[in-house]
Structure 1
Amino acid sequence: MQIIEVTGYAVRSAVITMRRTGTPLEFVIFPMVHVASPAFYSQVRTRLGECDLIVLEGVRGKSLGVSALTLAYRFAPRRRRNGLQEQREELLLPEGVPVINPDVTAAEAIADLRTLPRWTYLLLMVAAPVMGLAFALRGPRAFLDEDLVVEDLPSTLRAEMMADDPVKRAMTDRRDQRLLAALGEIHTERCDEPIRVAVVYGAEHVPAIVSGLGDRYGYQPREAEWLTVLVPA
């Protein structure tokens, strides 16, 4: 199953509904891209308004290291001609739907990155603003890159290579574990309720979410709806 689809015409994200036989609770997975068209965030907001609980990504607290890394996607929306927006809570969250955030703190995120070789860590910090500038100059076409394609098939060569990537592990492993623990608590406490639980996390986290909910609790993808993330000018 493809989570993010990149073609020469558009970037699309698959909203995935997961269900388990015998229980009414549903998990609705929203694979997010942190820079997108305003219409994408509007569509996500509308669908979140139909949910009963939102589990939201977001590193808690601040640090210079986290700020440096997020420059990779904060530059692009600053050029109005790009027609892009940075993902922000006020663009996504509807009123009246409770939100929980099981993500790591900024200090924990940086501590995980510092387990990498020193040169790798320094390269990440230097490369992020350079990438952000490139995105800003190229505009939406910078996102029409096959590297943005994310699949949830762990048996594929691509997924196996990504699983062995120490940078990816440092950036996602602890966060995925926290998220799956939180989803497990929701399942244990509320699986007999007919509710829709939205999981709003970056697309790179979605393979772990899908496989974790399936392997641990028996939830399987039952529906998918494509939302257009952006269309290049």
Structure 2
Amino acid sequence: MQIIEVTGYAVRSAVITMRRKGTPLEFVIFPMLHVASPTFYSQVRLRLRDCDLIVLEGIRGRSVGVSALTLAYRFAPRRKRNGLQEQHEGLLLPEGVPIINPDVTAAEAIEDLKTLPRWMYLLLMVVAPVMGLVFALRGPRAFLDEDMEVEDLPSTLRAEMMADDPVERAMIGRRDQRLLAALGEIYAERGEERIRVAIVYGAGHVPAVVTGLRDRYGYRPREAEWLTVLIPA
């Protein structure tokens, strides 16, 4: 199943609704890119108004290391001619919908990254600002790269790939576990309620969410709606 689609002229994100037979609670997954056109964020915000609970990504607290890593997507919107905007809560979240944030703290995120070999950790800190400059200079065309595509790979294959990629494991492993634990609590406590639970997380987390909801609770993707993330001029 395609989650993020990259073509020669646009990037699109698939909003996925997951349901379980005999269970009224629905999960609606919004695969996010942290830099996109303002229209994309307004379209997500519009759909979040119809949800009863939002599970939101966001590392809590601050650290120099996390700030260095996020430079990669904070540089690109600074050139106004790029027509891009950085994701932030004021732009995205509607009023009146409850929000929970099961993400890690900044200290925990850096703790996980420091499990990498020291040279690899230092390289990450250097590469992130450089990538941000590349995005800023190239504009939206920098996002039209097939490496950005995200698919829901079979869980066993994804586990094998993650095991071979220490950087991915360090960056999102614990965060995925926290997210799935929170979704499990929501399912246990509110599974008999007819509500829509929005999961607003970066696209890289979505394969783990889809496979986790499927394997643990029997949820299946039942609907998908494509939203355009950006169209370069």
The answer to whether the superposition gives a TM-score over 0.5 is: yes
Tell me how far apart the structure 2 counterparts of residues 152 and 168 of structure 1 sit (CA, whole Å).
16
Q: Match of 1:135, SS?
A: helix
8 Å CA contact 1:176, 1:208 repeated in 2:
yes
8 Å CA contact 1:30, 1:199 repeated in 2:
yes
8 Å CA contact 2:155, 2:211 repeated in 1:
no
8 Å CA contact 1:153, 1:159 repeated in 2:
no
Where in structure 2 are the equivalents of 1:96-175 lying within 5 Å? 96-154=96-154, 160-175=160-175
8 Å CA contact 1:151, 1:159 repeated in 2:
no
Where in structure 2 are the equivalents of 1:1-233 lying within 5 Å? 1-154=1-154, 160-233=160-233
Q: Match of 1:24, SS?
A: strand
Tell me how far apart the structure 2 counterparts of residues 60 and 29 of structure 1 sit (CA, whole Å).
21
- Kindly provide the amino acid, as one letter, of the partner of residue 166 in structure 1: P
TM-score (norm 1): 0.98
8 Å CA contact 1:27, 1:199 repeated in 2:
yes
* Number of equivalences: 233
- Kindly provide the amino acid, as one letter, of the partner of residue 185 in structure 1: E
TM-score (norm 2): 0.98
- Kindly provide the amino acid, as one letter, of the partner of residue 29 in structure 2: I
8 Å CA contact 1:154, 1:160 repeated in 2:
no
User: How far did residue 153 of structure 1 move?
Assistant: 1.8
Q: Match of 1:45, SS?
A: helix
- Kindly provide the amino acid, as one letter, of the partner of residue 212 in structure 1: G
8 Å CA contact 1:53, 1:196 repeated in 2:
yes
Q: Match of 2:110, SS?
A: helix
User: How far did residue 9 of structure 1 move?
Assistant: 1.0
Q: Match of 2:208, SS?
A: helix
Unmatched segments (≥5 aa) in structure 1:
none
Q: Percent identity?
A: 85
Unmatched segments (≥5 aa) in structure 2:
none
Tell me how far apart the structure 2 counterparts of residues 94 and 157 of structure 1 sit (CA, whole Å).
37
**Superposition CA RMSD, Å:** 1.3
